[in-house]
Amino acid sequence: MSVAPMMDWTDRHCRFFHRLLSRRTRLYTEMVTTGALLHGDVPRHLDFDASEHPVALQLGGSEPADLARCAKLGVEWGYDEINLNCGCPSERVQRGAFGACLMAEPALVADCVKAMVDAVDVPVTVKHRIGIDKVESYAFVRDFVGTVAQAGCGVFMVHARNAWLKGLSPKENREVPPLRYEMVHRLKREFPDLVIGINGGITDDPTVHGQLEELDGVMIGREAYHHPWWLARWDELFYGEPASGLGREQVEEAMVAYMEREHAQRGTPGIPSPAT
């Protein structure tokens, strides 16, 4: 089980909260672009609480050398996995020549993956769609996965919708293109040695159980954000381990204590920090 990387949502505060609910669920950062790391405030983008492990850093970029440098930064900061975004359809991301449009260039993605695999000793993974625009053939996503796997990627998290690069907003791209779970199941049958996980439209226990009969993992997106208490049952339901044992009031108290610590250490924008 994992919680999907979601821009403006899965920041370190959200991940700390989610970790209170589930010890085992893998958490992902928001997408961080290579430009933001190479030319911006690295601690602001990469800092996280040790309790968040296992936690993955999702990168956005398309230059192998830049991605390798940023992957090394991620490992230096302690991330357990480096994930390449090949699924975001926003026009801003397209202008940067990365995200979902990279699916049209599997050889370039393979070069990016190989550069990162050569640079770090943690898993390098890819999150992608099943197709772009009106390309709906299974051969398209099969060839993409096959090419990228040869470069050293063994884990693919697949959003089971196409990304329409023109005519739909990012929000519409999460809702309008139809879900086709069978395409992801077919990938697993064709590539049994790869770890294949699924993302998209999954909101309840029976659906998760059904997907885990076919696949290696399930990634939950906005449902984990809008209904976070669902995570409190995942360790028991999907890992066969005791739940965290924290009730809602205990989670709330832990978050209040966390916010007080954060405010004391870093302050809140526009609000002076307490004197030390």
* Chain Cα centroid distance, residue 149: 18
DSSP state at residue 177:
S
Q: Do 194 and 149 touch, CB atoms closer than 8 A?
A: yes
Set 88, 101, 112, 153: catalytic member: 88
Distance CA(196)–CA(191), nearest Å, equals: 9
Q: Do 22 and 234 touch, CB atoms closer than 8 A?
A: yes
Q: Do 161 and 129 touch, CB atoms closer than 8 A?
A: yes
Angle between helices 106-119 and 64-76 (to 10 degrees): 40
Q: Do 59 and 71 touch, CB atoms closer than 8 A?
A: yes
Active site residue 70: no
DSSP state letters, 183-241: HHHHHHHH-TTSEEEEESS--SHHHHHHHHHHSSEEEE-HHHHHSGGGGGGHHHHHH-S
Distance CA(27)–CA(210), nearest Å, equals: 22
Indicate which residues carry an active-site annotation.
Answer: 88
